[in-house]
């Protein structure tokens, strides 16, 4: 996880993990993109590494740097403002063991309402609909997952080259999901497990994040990956992206 002066919520998430003691969780890497001190849980049942950046870098670069410290067979990219009430890893790792490249849980807000983390391929029309629609949809066959909680097979993350660092923030999640489908074993949405996330949606309120969002969208829409993925989705030969326990 990457913290941008968010030590309080990072500590909350670490406390959740320490309380749940997920058997599959061996290491947590906390990258401080800004100078701060993170309070760690007492005697956590997993290794915690805190990395302090000399200068701030983007989402993709931070997670790619964290991956260089990963020696485990699975790698998760997680936002610090996630809260976890139940161990999500059995379902998520089950999908990876069944053959998918990456997996993602359902995401709900603090009231338990489903959020739009599993999405259609981004188009200009979709952006307008998401901006003004109040209802959050759960798609039968999502094309990509918002990057607040993604779990990868480490071999796949390495083969894909991680997140594309041309995206400073925004759209790196859509890009890596598209590449995981086009170049690897596909993506799996696991609605049987959920994490809690109250989206800040800074790009709708602040000028700098809005600029990052627009620039990233344009980079994605003008990329070969986008057009190849759009062609794939329109081919009628799309592999299912929803994984439920016992299914393949």
| Class of the CATH-defined domain 72-233 | alpha beta
> Residue 149: enclosing H or E segment and its boundaries?
strand 149-153
Is 142 buried (19+), middle (13-18) or exposed (0-12) by CB count in 10 A?
buried
Mean pLDDT is lowest, of 12-26, 72-86, 177-191, 211-225, for 211-225
Which band of pLDDT confidence, cut at 50, 70 and 90, is reported for residue 12?
very high
Query: 205: how many CB neighbours lie within 10 A of its CB?
Result: 9
Q: Which residue has the tokens 């400073």?
A: 168
Tens of pLDDT along 118-170? 998 988 777 676 656 554 555 668 999 999 999 999 999 999 999 999 998 89
Does the pTM of the predicted model rise above 0.95? no
Average of per-residue pLDDT across 209-237: 91
The pLDDT score that the predictor gives to residue 205 is: 54
Which band of pLDDT confidence, cut at 50, 70 and 90, is reported for residue 186?
very high
Tens of pLDDT along 33-75? 999 999 999 999 999 999 999 999 999 999 999 999 999 999 9
Contact 198, 149 (CB under 8 A): no
Tokens of 54: 């000399």
Single out the residue of 168, 229, 227 nearest to residue 203, CA to CA. 168
DSSP H helical ranges for the chain = 7-20, 59-67, 89-97, 124-132, 154-160, 172-183, 207-221, 224-233
> Which residues lie below 8 Å from residue 242, measured CB to CB, with a gap of 6+?
140, 141, 142, 188, 189, 191
Residue ranges per structural domain of the chain: 72-233
The answer, yes or no, to whether residue 173 has pLDDT greater than 50, is yes
């Amino acid at each position: 996880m990457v913290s941008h002066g968010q030590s309080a919520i990072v500590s909350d998430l670490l406390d959740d993990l320490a309380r749940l003691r997920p058997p599959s969780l061996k290491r947590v890497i906390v990258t401080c993109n800004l100078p701060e001190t993170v309070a760690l849980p007492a005697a956590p049942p997993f290794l915690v590494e805190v990395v302090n950046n000399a200068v701030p870098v983007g989402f993709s670069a931070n997670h790619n740097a964290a991956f260089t410290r990963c020696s485990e067979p699975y790698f998760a990219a997680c936002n610090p403002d996630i809260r976890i009430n139940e161990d999500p890893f059995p379902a998520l790792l089950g999908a990876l063991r069944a053959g998918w490249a990456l997996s993602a849980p359902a995401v709900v807000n603090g009231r338990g309402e489903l959020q739009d983390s599993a999405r259609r391929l981004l188009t200009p029309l979709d952006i307008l609909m998401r901006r003004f629609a109040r209802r959050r949809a759960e798609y039968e066959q999502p094309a990509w997952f918002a990057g607040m909680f993604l779990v990868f097979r480490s071999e796949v993350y390495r083969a894909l080259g991680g997140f594309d660092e041309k995206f400073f923030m925004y759209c790196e999640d859509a890009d890596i999901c598209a590449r995981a489908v086009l170049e690897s074993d596909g993506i799996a949405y696991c609605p049987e497990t959920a994490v809690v996330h109250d989206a800040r949606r800074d790009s709708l309120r602040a000028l700098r994040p809005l600029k990052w969002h627009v620039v990233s969208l344009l980079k994605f829409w003008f990329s070969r990956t986008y057009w190849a993925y759009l062609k794939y989705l329109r081919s009628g030969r799309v592999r299912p992206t929803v994984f439920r326990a016992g299914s393949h």
